[in-house]
Amino acid sequence: MQDLAAPIASVPQAHRAVGGAWLGYLCGLAITSACTAIAFPLYPSVASVNIVMVYLIGTTFGALRLGRGPGVLISVANILAFDFFFVPPRFSFDVEDTQYIFTMAVMLIVALVIANLVVNIRRHRDLADIRERRTSMLYAMSRELAVARDTETMAAAAVRHVCAVFNSTALVLIADERGLLTPTNQAPASRPHNHHSVLDYDPDLAQEVVARGERLISDAVYLPLQGSRRVKGVMVVRPQSDARAGAQALPTDQLQLLDAFAVQLAHSLRRARLAEAAEAARIAAERASLRNTLLASISHDLRTPLSAIAGAGSLIAQPEYALNSDRRTTLGHLIERKARDMSQLLSNILELMQIESNNGAPRTDWHAIEDLVAHSLRANEARLAQRRIVLDVPADLPMVLVEATLIVQILSNLLENAAKYTPPGTTITICAAVREEHVLLTVADDGPGLPPGDPQRLFEKFQRGRAESNIVGVGLGLAICRAAARLHGGDIIAKNAPEGGARFEITLPVETQFDASPPAEPESLQN
């Protein structure tokens, strides 16, 4: 595979690798001289027919190594040398015996035929070589494109391959619905000595490529990335090796190869676009369904605590009711509790709205799971005072790329639920572990377990485990958990543990495996 990285630019000219064309002809003359030098001492002990053979070997060899032009030169030069050195009278181009004319004519024809055949064979072999290299280069790119999931990654992969294969700088521009082009992230130059890693291109020319849908060549090659209906983008390639000659000098076969690369990329981009559109549709649908259920239930859940607060306030404020201080205290607590419930509901609603309106992009940073778990335990310390907490969070877990507040919110909601729905003395276990590409977070208790019915329904908005329960809080907690988990590309499920009790499992994708042990510090700092 290593040879793929080598520029292809020199391949079609491989048969001239000996040097310039003139060097080939010089070598041709050298071969003739060599043949003469070999044959000269043999004559006259060896018959002149066999001397001819020596020259024919020279012709065959020369044509094979040097190509057609030098091959013809050798053929002619050999005849002349044979005539001069061996045909009597020797050391003159005169011919005594006319039958030698015939010999030399046959010799010339045979030599030319051999040269031609040999050169044809070579050209076929070279072409086959080039085709094979092209196929494998295209294959290398398409393999990388196949695993890329978004436009940016695909464009970057294509740029990298094109840069390496054509020894050039390249840039992919993506067209929006109106056909306006924007450059994708320019991948860092694949070669360290690449001075202009940022390729400047002619925007007008690129737009013209979009409009016309065909390849244009100026100082660089502008290739259309043809979608199903319109041009989806433009790939700009500027050869680096021969800056003065520029793109105009690119041979046809290289242009064809570039076209093949562009077609391959366009195909992959189309796939990425379809996937992106499907994802956007899914997010939009989820957002819409949330809003509907939310509105339907908010008024009820806000009005109930509000009427309690208003009632309690009016009781306290009436002097003629002459409430004793015990009753005042009770009413005060009631007001506080109801106000808190409402505040909690509002926070939950805001939180959900925010997750949904975030356009699917959490504000992520790297966090240690241990830290997030500790934080959520701390935030719920008072609530959990009468529960036993068991932690199983290994210190060597990989870090996760998450929005910390959301993950803490998930854990807090689960802990809060565990506190609400289990009797004091219950054990709550929090586990974290790596499962393949995921981090699995589990919050389990040994309480009464989940209510009968499909546990996954608990994650729907305004679902509460027991319909007729006076437990405070609104059925948004688990909905938030699910929205937050899914926003991270993970999920959450609920089940009853076989040994009893409720069990919630959160999966979060591990973006990059990261060694949690401290990176080595430079020795110089150690003292």
**Number of residues binding to other proteins, judged by CB under 8 A:** 36
Interface pick for other proteins out of 385, 466, 470, 499 (rule CB under 8 A): 385
Q: Which is nearer to other proteins, 29 or 516 (CB)?
A: 516
Shortest CB 342 distance to other proteins, Å: 9
Distance, in Å, from the CA atom of 140 to the CA atom of 224, rounded to the nearest integer, reads 21
Closest CB to other proteins among residues 264, 380? 380
Residue choice 350, 386, 388, 471 for contact with other proteins (CB under 8 A): 350
Nearest approach, Cβ of residue 343 and other proteins (Å): 5
The answer to whether the peptide bond before residue 44 is cis (omega within 30 degrees of 0) is yes
- Cα separation, 405 vs 407, in Å, equals 6
Note whether 60 and 116 are within 8 A (CB).
Answer: no
Show contacts with other proteins in window 458-517 (CB under 8 A).
514, 516-517
Closest contact distance (angstroms) between CB of 301 and other proteins is 17
* Closest CB to other proteins among residues 411, 458: 411
User: What is the separation of C-alpha 103 from the centre of its chain, rounded to a whole number of angstroms?
Assistant: 68
Query: Is 294 a residue that touches other proteins (CB under 8 A)?
Result: no
Query: What share of residues in the chain are helix, strand, coil (percent, to 5)?
Result: 55, 15, 30
Output the smallest distance, CB 20 to other proteins, in A.
51
What is the closest distance, in whole angstroms, from the C-beta atom of residue 386 to other proteins in the complex?
A: 11
x-or-dash string of contact with other proteins, 387-406, rule CB under 8 A: ----x-x-x---x----xx-
Provide the mask over 304-343, with x wherever binding to other proteins is found by CB under 8 A and - wherever it is not: --------------------------------x--xx--x
Question: CB–CB of 504/444 below 8 Å?
Answer: yes
Is the Cβ of residue 92 or residue 386 nearer to other proteins in the bound state?
Answer: 386
Q: Which one among 381, 437, 453, 469 touches other proteins, defined by CB under 8 A?
A: 381
Helices 48-66 + 68-85 axis angle, to 10:
160
Q: Is 408 in the site for other proteins (CB under 8 A)?
A: yes
Only one residue has tokens 């959160």, namely: 506
Structure tokens that stand for 74 in this block: 């050798």
> Which residues are registered as beta bridge partners of 502?
496
Q: Compute the radius of gyration of the chain from its Cα atoms.
A: 41
Strand 181-183 relative to strand 216-217, pairing: unpaired
- Give the residue, chosen from 253, 370, 505, 511, that forms a contact with other proteins under the rule CB under 8 A: 370
Footprint (CB under 8 A) of other proteins, residues 31-90: none
**Do residues 225 and 265 touch, judged by C-beta distance below 8 A?**
yes
Verify binding: residue 108, other proteins, rule CB under 8 A: no
Q: Which is nearer to other proteins, 424 or 519 (CB)?
A: 519
Site for other proteins contains 377 (CB under 8 A): yes
* Amino acid in position 196: H
* Cα distance between residue 182 and residue 244, in whole Å: 28
Spatial separation of the C-alpha atoms in residues 289 and 278, rounded to whole Å: 17
The alpha carbon of 97 is separated from its chain's Cα centroid by a whole number of angstroms, namely: 78
**Distance in Å, CB of 370 to other proteins, minimum:** 6
Q: Which residue number, 99 or 524, has a Cβ lying nearer to other proteins?
A: 524
Q: In the complex, what is the shortest distance from the CB of residue 163 to other proteins, in angstroms, rounded to a whole number? A: 28
Distance CA 347, CA 42 (A): 107
Chain centroid to Cα 43, Å, comes to: 71
Asked if residue 98 binds other proteins (CB under 8 A), the reply is no
- Tokens at 409, concatenated: 């919110």
Calpha distance 15→32 (Å, rounded)? 20
Enumerate long-range contacts of 339-342, CB under 8 Å, 24 or more apart.
339/305, 339/309, 341/305, 341/472, 341/473, 341/474, 342/302, 342/305, 342/306, 342/309
The residue range among 207-215, 304-312, 364-372, 488-496 that interacts with other proteins, by the rule CB under 8 A, is 364-372
Write out the two tokens for 379: 């935030």
Which residues are near other proteins by CB under 8 A?
Answer: 336, 339-340, 343, 347, 350, 354, 363, 365-368, 370-371, 373-375, 377-378, 381, 385, 391, 393, 395, 399, 404-405, 408, 514, 516-519, 521, 525-526
